[in-house]
């Protein structure tokens, strides 16, 4: 199959220590939107998500719950699946790192690194942050604490196998140089390049003290470090080296949070180089949400639960808000007041109002909807598609909204409600086509809303190639309001 026709997107796989929250809902919704966008383009899409189930952190959570690790991870993993169902996540596969096929792939992958002479035995001595499952040197610590999350680190001294990351410094720098998009978005590029230029240390890839892990092939005292195990999910899920791997690999984009960018932009490509496997096209590192101005944390109890949020607000409004509040890549703050402001302003007053007004007038009009495409000049499908290529959801929504606002303005400027005959026919033709095209463009972001618009227009949901003015062939019938106004403080 032509590479152009396939699209493979992944989310990070989530630690099954607790139920999902808005922080890990974010990359999942982002991946869902881009997967749906590529399906609209007519491409063959594979969208992977799942759960990261081994390691010290998960083991500790199971111990705290007084449960066997496997029983515990089965339960939490299910909560992720349920949450993604509620949020309309259209994944093609949900991988669990406790899946037998994955365990097998990890052992095979590591054997390749060993065969290629990139693994040696030594001793690791340094610091370890359990919540982040990350090793740090003395110099990397900030005030004696984890430089990423600020929590306590512990001293670790144990025998370990190492992966020769240092060997790949030049090849990594060449990769970044030749592939502009590999490190995305642009604002993250330089920090990775500078750090790699500063020199790479070999990385510890096994532990002897953590046994809730994949056994290391060839040495029964060693267990695979959870990050090495986790990264391999992106190919094990495809049945590497056969099956769908042949169709979908390399990944078109791995969506990751900025704090795990290093593992994906540096360690993962070096591991793939060592195993002789093609590299992904893009690593996109998104930013972080705070909650009502504060870092989300267990101790503060301010984790936003997407499932309970969806019993208060529509799933589509939540999905829209996540992509609209800040550009993908930057940090932002989650607050219910801002969510409400977006619902009342953009979803009710702009989009909902447009569809409601157009459908009310169209239902009453007795005649054909016909005319010249006056509104098409406000529509920039190529620009929207280009934004989506860069995972610039924010930019794409701005352009879609410019079109929605122009359509509302057209109603007001032309006093459409007072028009008659051919003038009314022309105006309604434009507005119905605008609504139809919006239903397609909005579908990846708000699937239920988009389908409701198409249904009210009496048309089939189209694809991206239908995003141009043509003949309007629907039979409009106004349905219920797309969004309800919500009370603000
Ligand atoms: N298990 C690893 C990933 C392995 S991928 C091979 C992991 N899991 S995680 O559950 O801790 O985090 C998963 C993702 O959720 C990360 O991309 C992280 O950035 C994201 N978020 C967690 N909290 C977040 C916010 N408060 N805001 C935005 N995203 C954050 O890391």
Q: pLDDT, tens digit, for every residue of 39-75?
A: 999 999 999 999 999 999 999 999 999 999 999 999 9
pLDDT tens-digit series, residues 125-145: 999 999 888 999 888 999 999
Tally helices (H) and strands (E) across the chain: 19, 16
Binned at pLDDT 50, 70 and 90, residue 3 comes out as very low
Q: Please tell me the distance between residue 351's alpha carbon and the centre of ligand 1 in angstroms.
A: 32
State the closest ligand 1 atom to the C-alpha of 255, by its place in the atom list counted from 1: 17
Distance CA 160, CA 122 (A): 5
CB-count exposure of residue 15 (10 Å: 0-12, 13-18, 19+): buried
State the closest ligand 1 atom to the C-alpha of 264, by its place in the atom list counted from 1: 6
Distance CA 315, CA 308 (A): 11
Binned at pLDDT 50, 70 and 90, residue 1 comes out as very low
Asked whether residue 24 carries a pLDDT value surpassing 90, the answer given is yes
Do residues 233 and 97 touch, judged by C-beta distance below 8 A?
yes
Q: Atom 19 of ligand 1 has which residue's CA nearest to it?
A: 257
pLDDT tens-digit series, residues 179-234: 999 999 999 999 999 999 999 999 999 999 999 999 999 999 999 999 999 999 99
24 Cβ closer than 6 Å to some ligand 1 atom: yes
331 Cβ closer than 6 Å to some ligand 1 atom: no
Which residue stretches of 343-478 are H helix? Answer: 353-364, 381-389, 393-413, 421-442, 447-457
pLDDT above 90 covers a percentage of the chain that reads 93
Q: Give the pLDDT confidence score for residue 297 in this predicted structure.
A: 74
Residues paired with residue 405 on neighbouring β-strands, in sequence order: none
pLDDT tens-digit series, residues 254-307: 999 999 999 999 999 999 999 999 999 999 999 999 998 888 877 677 889 999
Q: Atom 18 of ligand 1 has which residue's CA nearest to it?
A: 257
Distance CA 306, CA 295 (A): 17
**What is the Cβ-side half-sphere exposure of residue 135, based on CA atoms within 13 angstroms?**
21
Structure tokens at 413: 């400027």
Least confident of 99-113, 138-152, 327-341: 138-152
259 Cβ closer than 6 Å to some ligand 1 atom: yes
231 Cβ closer than 6 Å to some ligand 1 atom: yes
Maximal C-alpha separation, the chain? 85
User: Which helix (DSSP H) or strand (DSSP E) does residue 62 occupy?
Assistant: helix 56-64
- Full set of structural domains in the chain with CATH: 3-287 (3.40.50.620), 335-466 (1.10.730.10)
Distance CA 100, CA 121 (A): 27
Kindly report the average pLDDT of the chain as a whole number.
96
State the closest ligand 1 atom to the C-alpha of 259, by its place in the atom list counted from 1: 19
Q: Please tell me the distance between residue 128's alpha carbon and the centre of ligand 1 in angstroms.
A: 18
Give pTM, 2 decimals: 0.96
Q: Which of 250, 331, 173 is nearest to 3 (CA)?
A: 250
């Amino acid at each position: 199959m032509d590479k152009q026709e396939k699209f493979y997107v992944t989310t990070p796989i989530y630690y099954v220590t607790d139920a999902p929250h808005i922080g890990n809902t974010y990359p999942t919704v982002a991946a869902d939107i881009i997967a749906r966008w590529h399906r609209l383009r007519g491409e063959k899409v594979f969208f992977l998500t799942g759960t990261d189930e081994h390691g010290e952190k998960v083991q500790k959570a199971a111990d705290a719950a007084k449960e066997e690790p496997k029983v515990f991870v089965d339960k939490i993993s299910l909560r992720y699946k349920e949450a993604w169902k509620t949020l309309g996540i259209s994944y093609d596969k949900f991988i669990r790192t406790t899946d037998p096929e994955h365990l097998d792939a990890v052992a095979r992958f590591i054997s390749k690194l060993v065969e290629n002479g990139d693994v040696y035995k030594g001793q690791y001595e340094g610091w370890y942050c359990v919540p982040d499952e990350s090793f740090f040197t003395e110099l990397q610590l900030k005030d004696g604490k984890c430089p990423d999350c600020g929590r306590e680190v512990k001293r670790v001294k144990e025998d370990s196998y190492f992966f020769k990351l240092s060997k790949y410094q030049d090849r990594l720098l060449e990769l970044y140089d030749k592939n502009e998009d590999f490190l995305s978005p642009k604002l993250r590029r330089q920090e990775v390049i500078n750090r790699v230029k500063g020199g790479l240390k070999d990385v510890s890839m096994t532990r002897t003290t953590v046994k809730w892990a994949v056994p290391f092939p060839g040495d029964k005292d060693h267990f695979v470090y959870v990050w090495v195990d986790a990264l391999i999910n992106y190919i094990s899920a495809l049945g590497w080296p056969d099956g769908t791997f042949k169709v979908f690999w390399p990944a078109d984009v791995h969506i990751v949070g900025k704090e795990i960018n290093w593992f994906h932009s540096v360690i993962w490509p070096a591991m793939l180089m060592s195993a002789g496997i093609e590299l992904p096209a893009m690593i996109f590192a998104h930013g972080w949400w705070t909650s009502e101005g504060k870092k989300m944390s267990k101790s503060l109890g301010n984790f936003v639960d997407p499932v309970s949020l969806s019993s208060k607000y529509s799933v589509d409004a939540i999905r829209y808000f996540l992509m609209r509040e800040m550009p993908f890549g930057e940090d932002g703050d989650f607050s219910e007041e801002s969510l409400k402001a977006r619902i009342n302003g953009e979803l009710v007053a702009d989009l909902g109002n447009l569809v409601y007004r157009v459908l009310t007038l169209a239902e009453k009009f007795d005649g054909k909807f016909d005319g010249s495409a006056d509104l098409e000049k406000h529509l920039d499908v190529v620009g929207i598609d280009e934004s989506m290529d860069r995972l610039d959801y924010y930019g794409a929504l701005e352009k879609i909204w410019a079109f929605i606002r122009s359509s509302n303005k057209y109603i007001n400027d032309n006093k459409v409600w007072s028009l008659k005959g051919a003038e009314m026919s022309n105006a309604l033709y434009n507005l119905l086509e605008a609504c139809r095209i919006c239903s397609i463009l909005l579908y990846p972001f708000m699937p239920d809303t988009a389908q409701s618009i198409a249904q009210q227009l009496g048309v089939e949901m189209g694809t991206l190639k239908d995003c141009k003015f043509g003949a309007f062939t629907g039979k409009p019938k106004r349905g219920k309001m797309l969004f309800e106004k919500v009370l603000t403080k």
